[in-house]
Structure 1
């Protein structure tokens, strides 16, 4: 049931208990860091509110009335409970600041998150602080979006062509897709570049439907060939960059992959990049969260600020 209008605020009980414990308005004022006038006014207001005289002013200080003695006992118990609740809420806030469930597309989880998290921990150590605990799950972009929308993840990182509807987001990185083949593939020996149409009609090694890489390639092809472009069925559908890379090396077919994921292979010649000049294969990595344009305060905002600004 709701409290009556005669129930004072906690601050009034705190001041009254200080009067009871110190025996004077001046002592209570010194203990609480207030002026004696402020303490006197708060006591008078409290007595007027409850309708009972709680303390008698004397030349030797303030003497509690019989009613005041009872109220002081209640105030002590009430403030003990309030202190316990306050500490508990603080612990909950601290836990919320220190632990964050993150879901990321596989490219981001494998290529970027380890560096981001280690850098975050190093920065926290230099400040003499502790970094938020990040529980990371790797999946595809579609599942990452669903996890954030469904509340099973606090923060997501995706590689879709555009920002998901109904979620807050910000750009945290850039990448590009690259068409890769094994060394010696026929596309590496031809005089003229591969066209967008030829790529669309070639069975590729791909990720599963609705993955960020697959959607990004489809968008790039549609920008050149139109929305009704028909793509050849995949030669293989695989759920990880490592599996795609192995399939390409085994000769299964070309693949569109993140340049981040194959940078080492390209550098040492294990894979070859095939240019498709007609296509814009640049893309953005985004962080997503439930809410507006500003990320939620606490661990989420701390992590994103570190990723974006160092």
Structure 2
């Protein structure tokens, strides 16, 4: 039980429920999670009993999620993402450095992409101990420039000309609003002029999100609130402070559950995800391998 007097979350069962949604079968989900079918079934029943919910509809044709089950899975994806991010970050921080690589990364890359990249780096080079600094794009470039970081990953269209660089992928920015916002019921895309008249919830200056939006808007936006994290922007948008511009990767769960609505626009907001390093130095092997992993990972995205 938690301090609030309610049961704690069982992340492994959340992973099993996600697998049931994908496999549409309890036995298939059990195999995917390395469980026996009786063990998987017992896990689901215990979870349902603990929370007083019916999550899985069982039939001769397979297992599907109930409406409550679909909501739990949508929330669970966000919980699992946060847990995976924390696990990768703790692993990078806690182990004694044998051969290190210092990585500076902007927020979206650090939250949604780097955990997978660092996991693959560990698989290939288990003795390498990364050190991760999560900063905005401008500061990530500065840490590389000053030698604090061996390699940086930034998400801005404004490239530092004094650093070597290679684009590893792209990220789409989305306009999101609370369901009660007048834009949530629009049938036509927002124009650049309409966007220019609105007051926005945005990241701070120096962030890739902010520079991408300003470049797309072609003017300095009106700001209702600034935040230094994506979570702050998402929370402010849900609270009705104003429309927010965030990475589409970061609001999948909120859009699936109806807590936010993505508003289409006539303005394309794609930003490059770019690796940067000091031009006068060759990347050491751990940093070079991380760059290759990033490029391989983003090839099909």
TM-score bucket of the superposed structures, by smaller chain: 0.5 to 0.7
For residues 236 and 184 of structure 1, the distance between their equivalents in structure 2, rounded to whole angstroms, comes to 18
Asked whether 1:192 is paired with 2:188, we answer yes
**Within the alignment, does 1:259 sit opposite 2:238 as a pair?**
no
**Unpaired segments ≥5 residues, structure 2:** 1-95
| 2:237 is equivalent to residue 248 of structure 1 | yes
Aligned partner (choices 282, 286, 289) of residue 299 of structure 1: 286
Aligned to 1:91: none
SS in 2 for 1:235: strand
Q: How many residues align?
A: 202
Q: Cα RMSD between the aligned structures?
A: 2.0
Aligned residue for 2:195, secondary structure, equals helix
The verdict on how the C-alpha distance between 1:257 and 1:306 changes in structure 2, with shifts beyond 3 A counting, is: same
Query: Shift of the alpha carbon at 1:295?
Result: 5.2
Alpha-carbon distance in 2 for matches of 1:230, 1:150: 30
For residues 210 and 220 of structure 2, the distance between their equivalents in structure 1, rounded to whole angstroms, comes to 14
Cα 1:305–1:131, aligned 2, differ >3 Å: closer, same or farther? farther
Contact 1:96–1:299 at 8 Å: present in 2 too? no
Larger C-alpha radius of gyration, 1 or 2?
1
2:206 to 210, 216, 224: 210
Is the Cα contact below 8 Å between 1:120 and 1:131 reproduced in 2?
Answer: no
Q: Helix, strand or coil: the match of 2:255?
A: helix
Contact 1:97–1:299, Cα closer than 8 Å, also in 2: no
* CA 1:221–1:131: 2 relative to 1, 3 Å: farther
Aligned partner of 1:231 in structure 2 is 221
Deviations 1:254-289 (A, max 9, x none): 011001111221222221100111x11111100100
TM-score by length of 2: 0.63
Q: Is the 8 A contact 1:195 1:276 kept in 2?
A: yes
- Deviation for aligned residue 1:97: 8.6
Paired residues of 2:200 and 2:221 also in contact (CA < 8 A): no
Q: Does residue 147 of the first structure (1) align with residue 143 of the second (2)?
A: yes
Give the structure 1 partner of residue 103 of structure 2.
Answer: 102
What residue ranges of structure 1 are gaps of 5+ in the alignment?
A: 1-94, 223-228
Aligned partners of 2:224 and 2:158: how far apart in 1?
27
